[in-house]
Every structure is written in C-alpha cells, then in structure tokens.
C-alpha cells in the first residue's frame, strides 16, 4: 500500500510539472508583444522581397500618375 501511495504521489507531482511547463509554453506563445514582433518581422521580410518591392513601386507610380492627371484637369 505504501508503495502505491508513493507512486501515485510521484505521478501527481510529475503531472503538475508537465502542466506547469505546458502553461509556461502557452503563455510564451500567446504573449502579445512576441506576437506583434513576429508579425512585424514577417511583414518586413515580405516587403523586402524584390517582387513585392517592384509591385509596390509600380502601384505608387500609378497612383502618382492618376493624382497628377486629376490635378491637371
């Protein structure tokens, strides 16, 4: 009986440790600052791609032409 009780207590202690580790990992993954930093880094990485840069430059030129034509009329 004493052995069973000790084993159960050890199992409970191990389950508590595992739960604490899981909660710490979830808290780290759900940290708003980390999520914002990850999103910012991903956006900057996407914007640094040549295809995206050229597309944005083309859109900028197109908008500038449309604005100039509207002003000129």
Tens digits of pLDDT across the chain (73 residues): 667 899 999 999 999 999 999 999 999 889 999 999 999 999 999 999 999 999 999 999 999 999 999 999 8
Give the whole-angstrom CA distance, residue 20 versus residue 18: 5
pLDDT of residue 73: 85
Give the whole-angstrom CA distance, residue 11 versus residue 9: 5
CB under 8 Å to 43, separation ≥6 — which residues?
A: none
Report the predicted TM-score, pTM, of the whole model to 2 decimal places.
Answer: 0.53
Angle between helices 32-47 and 50-72 (to 10 degrees): 80
């Amino acid at each position: 009986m004493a052995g069973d009780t000790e084993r159960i207590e050890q199992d409970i202690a191990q389950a508590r440790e595992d739960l604490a580790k899981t909660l710490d990992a979830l808290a780290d993954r759900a940290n708003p600052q980390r999520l914002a930093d990850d999103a910012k880094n991903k956006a900057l990485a996407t914007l640094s791609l040549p295809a995206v840069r050229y597309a944005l430059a083309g859109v900028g030129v197109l908008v500038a032409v449309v604005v100039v034509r509207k002003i000129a009329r």
